[in-house]
A and B are shown apart, each in its own frame.
Chain A
């Protein structure tokens, strides 16, 4: 056995694998690998350096905002919602949401098919729950979605590959596919406004004060007062997603 192996090792390469001869000076395998390695060694640093510079330019100017000092959440008083969809309109305007994305109640509501079977109807505003334990972040294969320190779930649009896995994973149907950018998109809790101390656009536009935005851990904010004075429920608590959109006066049947 060992004799045979030595014999093969000593035999010339061409004898074992006859190479197709294109012309007299064509590469053999060894030459080809050598040339490729050289090319990679020469080209890689240049490519990586270009990537690195592009990355550095992409990073925006930092603001004086410290996310560690805040925990944001949203409160919703179901009894106050009149279903006017001003929040939807405001969100679409503020965040440049394209027309052919989910429209909420902006175009009115579907008619009730069997009125006799309906006991009571009411409006329940839904949005991204900004879960403390978000399924969408767990399933992202490229790590393009994440929770910030102040409790907001965001999407890294430059790294999202548009696989739609997070859209499937979200139990609240809060994610949607951006038809222009071809990435997963979602409510940012108007993060660009919040860091400036402004309210999210939907809260700003709500005419009845059904939406309350604020910090959870500070006792003196409108949100924590709202949470003390009302019986608070969250959507699908059994899923352990720990949602941060708190509903008051919500019928327990709403999911």
Chain B
């Protein structure tokens, strides 16, 4: 046999052997076990410690509080949302403490007024709302309700009340357009206040046919002025100059 062929075969043999050996050692041990990745990386992620015990854990020891909480307005709120991560607390049987809450600082995180928050979510102005008094003095954090039924609309609808108060409509009562059932003050979403369905209230001032009854309000001809639209399609009733 040619000497060249023998040497070539030897070179190929060594190269192939090196490739197989390198492949065996260089490819991570768990690569391809679950997919085109190193399965050990998943194990590393899984090995992270759990810090939030989960909302079902607390009832084992704090049965009474959990029971109260389930009936109140905070029923959807997990204990750990306010009390902080408590896996260590649950595992040690209560030896390690949970977070101490300072109501005046923590409650406004959710309940301070923010125009971006959904309508109907209970919000207060933390500066004006009983300043320096701990929230928990009046509200039970585990089953919060307003300590007394709000007397005026502006207790909850402060933003609208302020806008209206600065406008030409300042002296108009909310009840002129909206009818709120009594329960609306206690369960605002279950018993919604009504909204006007026709323009009859607007017309009384703004399209008054009887000149003797007219006041200083801008007059329009209700038959001609954008008859197919309701007034509030263009004018914001709580601050008509703004739009």
Contact = CB atoms under 8 A, between A and B. Distances in A.
Interface of A: 45, 48-49, 51-52, 55-56, 58-63, 65, 67, 79-86, 90, 93-96, 109, 121-123, 143-144, 146-149, 154-159, 188, 191-193, 195-196, 198-199, 201, 204-209
B76 A59 contact: no
Given A52-B25, A79-B118, 10 more contacts: A48-B21, A55-B29, A61-B43, A82-B114, A82-B118, A93-B85, A123-B116, A192-B46, A198-B52, A205-B80
Given A83-B116, A143-B36, A191 B45 contact: yes
Given A146-B36, A205-B78, A83 B44 contact: no
A143 B45 CA distance: 16
Contacts of B77: 207
Interface string B36-58: 11111111111111111011000
B235 to A, nearest CB: 16
A205 B54 contact: no
Contacts of B39: 59
A83 B210 CA distance: 51
Nearest to B48: A192
B13 interface: no
Contacts of A81: 118
Given A52-B29, A94-B51, A205-B52, A83 B42 contact: no
Contact of A201 (B21, B37, B52, B74): B52
A65 B117 CA distance: 39
Contacts, number: 141
Contacts of A198: 50, 52, 54
B50 A82 contact: no
Contacts of A56: 29
A80 to B, nearest CB: 7
B118 A122 contact: yes
5 shortest interchain CB distances as A-B pairs: A60-B43, A156-B41, A48-B25, A146-B37, A59-B40
Interface in B57-110: 74, 76-78, 80-81, 84-85, 109-110
A111 B44 CA distance: 40
The CB with the most chain B CB atoms within 10 A, among A109, A122, A156, is that of: A156
Chain A interface secondary structure, helix, strand, loop or mixed?
Answer: loop
B50 A192 contact: yes
Interface residues of B, number: 44
Contacts of B114: 82-83
A59 B33 CA distance: 12
A56 B47 CA distance: 16
A154 B85 contact: no
Contacts of A158: 38, 40-41, 44
Contacts of A192: 45-50
Nearest to B78: A204
B81 A148 contact: no
B103 to A, nearest CB: 15
B212 interface: no
Given A56-B29, A205-B81, A195 B121 contact: no
Nearest to A208: B76
A159 B27 CA distance: 12
Most chain A CB within a 10 A radius of its CB, from B28, B34, B39:
B28
20 contacts: A55-B30, A60-B44, A60-B46, A63-B46, A83-B114, A86-B109, A86-B110, A90-B80, A93-B52, A94-B52, A96-B48, A123-B116, A149-B34, A158-B38, A158-B44, A191-B45, A201-B85, A204-B55, A206-B81, A207-B76
B176 interface: no
A66 B36 CA distance: 17
Residue among B46, B114, B121 with the highest chain A CB neighbour number at 10 A: B46
Contacts of A96: 48
B127 interface: no
